Amino acid sequence: MTLSNSAARRVFLDRHHLSGLPQGPGKGDDLLGLIENLGFVQLDSINTVARAHDLILFARRQRYRPKALKSLYEKDRALFEHWTHDAAVVPLSYYPYWHLRRQRDAERLRGHWRDGRRAGFEACFQAVLDQIKSDGPVCSADVGKDEKRGSGGWWDWHPSKTALEYLWRSGALCVVGREGFQKRYDLTERVLEQHLCDVSNAPDLDETIDWCCDQALDRLGFATHGELAAFWAHITPAEAQGWCKAELAAGRLEQIQITGVDGSVKMAYARPGLAEDPALNCAPTNRLRVLSPFDPALRDRKRAERLFGFDYRIEVFVPAAKRKYGYYVFPILQGERLVGRVDMKAFRDEDVLRVRALWPEGKVKWGTGRIAAFEAELERMKKLAGVSRVAFEDDWLR
């Protein structure tokens, strides 16, 4: 079976909840259900318009507001924070399948963090745990106050901050929320129910591999074994490849060809019956929406380029003089195409969302209709950005 490029895009956008209108209350059970369907939502601190996690959810639920995620995470305890390919909030029901990740992180990070300014972090474990036990949740600023501190960047942690991160990544601590964007840590045994803390109940390696691959395929529609492994970033490509071979032999997977935007084809795995998938007959809404650079649909840059011809690079760490576009540029989706990218920023002290530049993608034309759709989306985004008006700089449409 071969999926045309258009068909592949439709399946892909459907699985990422970008095909239909962004309707729904965007809070409570509706929001939790959306996050469960996505698998996780990446967290990021940059707030030029809105933080990544907020824009990811807003793009799918335009009644969403940040306090809804905070409530779900910190009040309802329906989510936990850990790592996939990066820091993310994840439905609490998935917590047992992070046991392998916590084990592997514990082994890997001990080796990585034993050198330089982080050296000695293991000697801080007990003091950090005792402090949290007696005083309650802490931030990194609350521990190791007699230790020398540098710039505070991720590369310059003092030993007690490193101990906090290690104890969280390996499972002794949980992140229970954030103040600003600074994590607060508490004892896992005080946060989670006993059955979740009991490692004897955790899935074994084979169960975890099966869950990771099965759930990743649900959310991707079709994938290579490498893409399955990268989705949760818990397992290795070799482990995912072994799962694919076994499922293929059992008839629970089939190999199909996916047509790229350039006409090339690439082999992928899919569940039998993808040819009858309802998404193939449903054209994505023509509603234009701005995406976060960290949107799940764009996390795999190579996949996005293959399917959409969209070559994207985040330029936050690129010197200003060498940037092709801008510091933090937002992709723009309409229908089944990525139609442009925009450099814009909310100046909250001026109460304005300022559009600096927009670059049409490829041969996409930006006529009056598309510009009107873009302006309408910016009007919807004002409240999320915390401003009341939108302004366009001269020559903004490049």
Domain residue ranges of the chain, discontinuous segments joined by +: 94-190, 288-392
- The pTM of this model reads 0.95
Q: Which pLDDT score, from 0 to 100, does residue 153 have?
A: 52
The b-or-e profile of 106-141 (16+ CB within 10 A means b, else e) is eeebeeebeeebbeebeebbeebbebbeeeebbebe
Q: Which pLDDT score, from 0 to 100, does residue 157 have?
A: 82
Class of domain 94-190: mainly alpha
How far, rounded to the nearest angstrom, does the alpha carbon of residue 75 sit from its chain's CA centroid? 21
Instruction: Tell the CATH topology of 288-392.
Output: Aminopeptidase (3.40.630)
Model confidence pLDDT, tens digit, residues 145-160: 888 665 555 556 889 9
Q: Strands 2-3, 254-259: parallel, antiparallel or unpaired by DSSP?
A: parallel
Asked whether the beta carbons of 23 and 61 are under 8 A apart, the reply is: yes
Q: Which pLDDT score, from 0 to 100, does residue 116 have?
A: 67
**Alpha-carbon gap, residue 280 to 370, rounded angstroms:** 25
Q: Which pLDDT score, from 0 to 100, does residue 119 have?
A: 80
Q: Which pLDDT score, from 0 to 100, does residue 223 have?
A: 98
Low-confidence residues of the chain: pLDDT under 50: none
Model confidence pLDDT, tens digit, residues 345-362: 999 999 999 999 999 998
Q: Which pLDDT score, from 0 to 100, does residue 155 have?
A: 57
Q: Which pLDDT score, from 0 to 100, does residue 132 have?
A: 98
